[in-house]
């Protein structure tokens, strides 16, 4: 639930996340929110997310309590996604034992992303 930044978030994600797809999107046609997103359904990896710009102003935002978790195909992809998305870093790109390469970041909209390069069999 964004407050006027959903379209900008979608543009960033479109440029930084391979395979990102907008499946459905409707904008507010008029009024104070004209052009903002009334509802959108997107696919990131194999998961679908719903998002929108909230009409009422609220006193909360996004927290790292919920993250978009992405398993990357290779190290280049992970590093490029991190470079394109990162505004702040909770865990820098590194080998943490549970993953050979992992990072936990937040984008400029404070959406939390966990990017992982899984072990190959």
pLDDT tens digit string along 15-61? 999 999 999 999 999 999 999 999 999 999 889 999 999 988 888 88
Catalogue all structural domains in the chain, each as residue range(s) with its CATH number: 6-51 (3.30.720.100), 67-117 (3.30.720.110)
Asked if 116 and 70 touch (Cβ cutoff 8 Å), the reply is: yes
Rounded distance between C-alpha atoms, residue 109 and residue 12, angstroms: 10
* Confidence (pTM): 0.90
């Amino acid at each position: 639930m964004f407050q006027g930044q959903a379209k900008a978030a979608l543009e960033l994600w479109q440029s930084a996340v391979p395979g990102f797809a907008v499946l459905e999107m409707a904008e507010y046609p008029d009024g104070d929110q004209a052009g903002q997103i009334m509802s959108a359904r997107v696919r990131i990896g194999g998961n679908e997310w719903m998002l929108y710009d909230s009409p009422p102003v609220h006193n909360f935002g996004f927290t790292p309590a919920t993250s978009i978790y992405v398993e990357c195909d290779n190290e280049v992809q992970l590093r490029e996604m991190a470079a394109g998305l990162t505004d702040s870093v909770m865990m820098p790109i590194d080998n943490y034992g549970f993953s050979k390469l992992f990072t936990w970041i937040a984008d400029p909209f404070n959406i939390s992303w966990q990017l992982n390069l899984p072990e190959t069999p």
